[in-house]
Structures are given as C-alpha cells and as structure tokens.
Structure 1
C-alpha cells in the first residue's frame, strides 16, 4: 500500500512527515528509492532545523543525489498535488502510433502482390515506417534525470527561467516536478526532474544545444546533471 503525504509546504504537513521519519531512514523500505526522490522533489524548500527528522532525511537524500544517485523502485508514495515518478509517465504511446498500429492490422487484408496505385503504395510505406518507429520506442529504455539549472544572478526572473526550460519540447522528453533551492547571497537555482527515452534524447545534447543557447540562455547560466537513474 502506497504511503500518502499532504501539504508538504505547510507546517502541519512537515510535522506529520517528521513524525513519520522518526523511526525510519527512508520513505519506504530499507534503502533510498524513487519514493524518496518524489517526496524530496515535492518539498518547496529545504526543511528548517525545527523538523529534525525531515532535515536529517533531506540532507541524506541530497548527498545521495550528488554522489551516486538513487535507483531502487520503492513501494509507492502519494503526495497531494504531486505526481510520483513512474515509468507510466512516458510509457503511453502517442495517439498517432496507436492509429498506425491499427492501420497495420488493416493491411493484413491487402494483396501485396496485386496491382496498387502509387498513392496506396506510399500510404502503406508510411504506415509501415510509423509502426516500426512505434515498436522501437517500446523497446527503448527510459531514465529519470534530476537537473540543477543555475541563473545568472539574483535578479534573474526564476519564473521565466522555469518557463524557458519547460518550453523545450521534443519526442521522448517529459518534464516533471521542479522546485527552487537557495544557493546563497539571495540566489536560487531551479532543480527539475525529467524522464527521457534513452534512444531518443541525449541529456548532454539537450543541455548543450537547447538549455544553454538562445533564447533560454537569457536566463540560464549553466545546467548540471545531479542524478541519472534507469527506470
């Protein structure tokens, strides 16, 4: 049964989480898992020292994300208003692929050796290519990536920075939860999750060719990979 938390941005929500972690090192199980990443990402800011157990757990997960990452599946966690990190988030094929697969079934009744018009041949080739592409996507592995996106200075509009980052859309990329993390001297960085299809998206290419070039680099100074985990 999945563990549920509510209002993690409020004092009451943090108090309940603190009580929950009193006798636990992790959200579920005996090792860090995706459940910990989900709750970690759902916290709008690092917890204060008032919440001793939450602070201990938060700092431990921060260290793991910086050093080795987190790969265990976990038992499932629900955070109000926040979607857990799951493979299903990118597992559903686009509607176009479903139609292509249905079209392939219709081709079973076609006499491939009979006379076909040029238009019919072209349509059949397009359907076959779409089905092949769909099958390749289903075979592809997926990864969960946590990015640190740093602004130029404390005057950078962080809302526009986040909008600029999420404006980057491509096949095989799904943006997830995000939060602002204080760095110092009034500067905050954006920490954001994304799920990628490995064969379709290269994180290095995404950073070099999209996240640190115009027009996004008006707000973004640099991007770093904090954690990279296979799903």
Structure 2
C-alpha cells in the first residue's frame, strides 16, 4: 500500500514528508517508484531547501527522473501518476477558450476567482470548526511494536512508526523494552481522537504494511484508556 501523507500544501504535511525522507532517498526506499510519482504530484512546488533539505533533494531527484524519462514534454505529473501532457498541447487547451473571451470577460473571471478563493477559505474554516465539534472523545493507547529480529535497526523502526501522520493522531513518549535473546521491542504511547482514528486500522493498514513492515513484524495493543 502506498504511503499516505496529509495535506502536502501545508507546513505540517511538508514536515511529515521531510521527517519520512530523513533516512530514505525515495518514498519506498532507494529507487524511484509510482509512490514517488503520486506524492510528487501532490506537492505544488519544490520545498524550501533550508527548511526541508531532504524533501527538496528528493523533489529535485524525482523531477530529474521524470524529465529524462519524458524528453520534450513538460515536467509534471497528473494525480493518477501519468506524465504531464506536452507543453504545446497543454498551452493549446488553455488558449482556445481564452481566444473567445474579450478583456471584460477576463477581468470578471479574475474577480470571480478571488471571491471563490475567499468562499473556499470560509468553507474550510467551517469544516474545521465542524470537525472539532465532532471530536466526542479521545483515548490514550500503549502499543508494543515488535521487530523482525535482533538485527533490526530500532532507531529506523521508531522513525518509520512516527512517520505515520493523520488527523486525530498524536505520537507520545516511547522506550525500548528487552524481550530476550538480544531482541528489544518498542513501546510507544499515542493519543487518538476516537471519531477520526481507529487503532485497528492504524495497525493493519499502516504499521504492518509497506514501508513500515521493513522493520515492523507485528503490533499489539497493551493498554487502551478513554481520556
């Protein structure tokens, strides 16, 4: 399953991407895959190199790969992961309707776009407020995260776990606990908003599938308490 990041247009989304790429060259490891293309499509522009050095380096690498794979075409991707249309074709699609409009139409269109932007911001604020109202309760959860063997890099295991970001999920304190034969497990606290996060889904759809399962063998719920 592909890695899922929250809104990559926001600072929190870019921070999550930066942290995730701290020990990787590409989303799924050391090679470019369709996961990189999908995430690249969701990033509007190259991340600031000073604020997000790992994400910026990754963005340049993916951009270069796409440019070399599709010479003569505009560098970009669609949400579905396909390469962008040639620059000339895209330009024609934009210019055809514009040629039929006069200057007044263009000015009106600009005014409407500004109004639409304000309306969208108001809708987003209302949706956010509505979401907060729906947060009926929170829970504190203690997870046991077990590695494959005593050779598993536990630092990377924890980084992989914490790289999972979603609305209503907050990672807390953690520690390594010996289980025998030189093997240690990660015990980590997390706080969830009950209406937004399912711990079972978090384990089955995030922690025990790619890329986390490179380090994580299994997860168990040790304690689950309502706050």
Q: TM-score range by the shorter chain?
A: 0.3 to 0.5
TM-score scaled to structure 1, two decimals?
0.47
